Amino acid sequence: MIPRDRYVQTLLFGKPDRIPLRPGGPRESTLAAWRSQGLPEGVNYYDALLELLDIEPDDTGPRVSLGVDFKMIPQFEEKVLQHKPGNPGSYIVQDWMGAITEISDRYDYTYIRSAKDFVTRKWHRFPVQTREDWLEMRKRYDPSAPGRYPADFAARCQALRDRSYPLAFSINGPFWQLREWLGLETLCMTMLDDPAWIEEMIEFWTEFVLATMQPILEHVQVDAVHLSEDMAYKIHSMISPRMARHFLLPTYRRWSDRIRASGCPIISMDSDGHIGKLIPVWIDGGINVCEPIEVAAGNDIVEYRRTFGRTMAFTGGIDKRAIARGGAEMVEEVLRVVPPLLEEGGFIPGCDHGVPSDISWPNYVEYSRLLARLTGWLD
């Protein structure tokens, strides 16, 4: 079975020959620690892992990216506005989204651009403060803007038609996107004080995404669309399920209808935090996969399976803290989660977020070895 079919069959509760081996990916600081713990310099961590486990890679060919940009065009200039020396020191920067943020001076503003490491920040100002700001922001989201699609988009779609690997693209959900424009506190308060404006912004974002993804859905068969929608704290969602249904559910339904009409079978939702009360909203919105299912936030993936049955598949769900402790605690956690869900299907096990640096390379290898046995890659 090729990796593409294996991925789709797994998440659709089908009959894959094996479960995809996706133990979780490290960030920059994790890789730096692993290099001092036995991971060879200059070697891809996953290639090294497969070699240690004596597993033959099943997909070694080159991959083609769609190259479609859902971000604002043009982006704001990234620049340091102020350096605050000290121990610790910090930079106040304008990021590419137009927000004024503060980060440790161990890093620079490129760490805000992508999740290269576990970098926390403090927000000082968000780009949309007034309706005038909003009217200017809208101009940066033209589906036909130069650079939105690569010049060789048609050739990429053609090359992707006979691929062996799963193809997906990612979009920001409406809550995530409005939070980038307004900030969390302003977004939540404006939902109460001026809901019509929130609905206007959500409608704009919904239409922008529909227009931007339409050429993709028309020209290549996509296997999955991933929604980024971090909208939960440790024990609660950031807005109530009732508010999520009112403001967000119509967008989910419109997107999922269009995506499914194209033949794409998987729509996945990525949210940190405690998501138990949000999952029913997402199911009603046509979403059929959730990740990463953080254990420290009170999520119990085994209980979710009992509650939601085959209406929701999952990826992730293994407590990163237990992987870090290793030994019997790691084994206990993996066996708590993996066999019960694998028996029913609809589950790709892995670390419940990015792999942090307190998970050592030896512990990661042993955890991955156990995962490989359970998912059919090792006897």
- Give the whole-angstrom CA distance, residue 231 versus residue 237: 6
Paired with 275 in beta bridges are none
Alpha-carbon distance values, 291 to 74, 220, 231 (Å): 31, 25, 13
Q: What is the mean pLDDT of residues 104-114?
A: 87
Short-list 66, 347, 50, 4, CA closest to 212? 66
- pLDDT band at residue 240, thresholds of 50, 70 and 90? very high
**For residues 109 and 358, which has the higher predicted lDDT (pLDDT)?**
358
Tokens of 190: 């404006």
What average pLDDT score do residues 328-348 get? 97
| Rounded average pLDDT over 191-216 | 98
Domain limits, the chain: 3-71+128-374, 77-126
Mean per-residue pLDDT of the chain = 96
Topology given in CATH for the domain delimited by 3-71+128-374: TIM Barrel (3.20.20)
**What would the two tokens of residue 25 be?**
């990916």
251 phi, psi to nearest 5 deg:
-65, -45
The pLDDT value given to residue 59: 78
pLDDT band at 58 (very low <50, low <70, confident <90, very high): confident
CA 143 from centre of chain: 22
Rounded percentage of the chain residues whose pLDDT exceeds 70:
100
Position 109 pLDDT exceeds 90:
no
What pLDDT score does 35 carry? 97
pLDDT tens-digit map of 275-288: 999 999 999 999 99
Cα separations in angstroms, 100 against 103, 121, 139: 10, 10, 20
Strands laid side by side in the 79-84 sheet: 79-84, 90-94, 100-104, 122-125
Tokens of 150: 């690569």
Q: Is the pLDDT of residue 114 over 90?
A: no
The predicted model gives 231-252 an average pLDDT of: 96
Note the pLDDT of residue 263: 98
Question: For the whole model, what pTM was predicted?
Answer: 0.96
SS (H, E, C) 41-59: CCCCHHHHHHHHHCCCCCC
Confidence class for position 110, pLDDT limits 50, 70, 90: confident
Reported as a single tens digit per residue, the pLDDT across 115-140 is 788 888 899 999 999 999 999 999 99
In angstroms, the CA 131 to CA 128 distance is: 8
Instruction: Compute how many other C-beta atoms are within 10 angstroms of the C-beta atom of residue 97.
Output: 19
